[in-house]
């Protein structure tokens, strides 16, 4: 079952964020990827991932959290900023799709975690996408974007 996320237009202004420690026996995510793996400013991409609860007796997965990594910290670690969150509908497993639009060209890294009904967090995964500038004098028509 595909769980579409809320479409987000991403900006540089957001609150600082931190990754949560993965809980033993908690939910897990895998296969985090941008579709397509490159984009043009102003065009939509979809961030996809698979999620699973911690087992048959574990609470269902309820929400996702998206954070943007800003590589400008002097220690080489990404400074994280909140970039969005949404519902996964209380499913035990499934595929999630978060449609995103980048207003500016750049190299972007995003982190995703999910939380279950017992407030346990999953592992964190990150994915990177390169966004090209819009072409001057050319219609901003975007390539056919995948469906969320």
DSSP letters, 6-70, are: --EE--S---B--PPPPPTT--EEEEEEEESSEEETT-EEEEEEEEE-SSTTSPPEEEEEEEEEE
Higher pLDDT, 133 or 79: 133
CATH architecture of 2-132: Sandwich (2.60)
Task: Give the pLDDT confidence score for residue 72 in this predicted structure.
Answer: 64
Nearby residues of 70 by Cβ (< 8 Å), 6 or more positions away: 78, 79, 80, 81
- Mean pLDDT score across all residues of the chain: 82
Task: Give the pLDDT confidence score for residue 14 in this predicted structure.
Answer: 54
Task: Give the pLDDT confidence score for residue 134 in this predicted structure.
Answer: 79
For residue 11, pLDDT over 80 is answered with: no
How far apart CA 61 and CA 72 sit, in angstroms, is 32
Task: Give the pLDDT confidence score for residue 1 in this predicted structure.
Answer: 40
Task: Give the pLDDT confidence score for residue 95 in this predicted structure.
Answer: 95
Would you place residue 100 in the very low, low, confident or very high pLDDT band (cuts 50, 70, 90)?
very high
Task: Give the pLDDT confidence score for residue 55 in this predicted structure.
Answer: 79
For residue 143, pLDDT over 90 is answered with: no
Query: What integer is the mean pLDDT of 101-114?
Result: 91
Higher pLDDT, 32 or 9: 32
């Amino acid at each position: 079952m595909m769980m579409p996320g809320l479409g987000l237009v991403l900006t540089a202004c957001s609150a600082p964020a931190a990754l949560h420690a993965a809980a033993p026996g908690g939910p897990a995510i895998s296969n985090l990827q941008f579709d397509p793996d490159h984009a043009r400013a102003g065009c939509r991409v979809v961030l996809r991932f698979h999620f699973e609860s911690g087992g048959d007796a574990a609470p269902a997965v309820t929400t996702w959290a998206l954070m943007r990594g800003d590589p400008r910290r002097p220690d080489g670690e990404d400074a994280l900023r909140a970039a969005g969150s949404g519902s996964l509908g209380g499913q035990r497993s499934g595929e999630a799709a978060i449609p995103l639009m980048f207003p500016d060209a750049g190299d972007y890294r995003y982190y995703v975690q999910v939380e279950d009904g017992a407030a346990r967090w999953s592992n964190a995964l990150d994915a990177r996408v390169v966004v090209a500038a819009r072409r001057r004098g050319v219609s901003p028509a975007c390539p056919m974007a995948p469906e969320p």
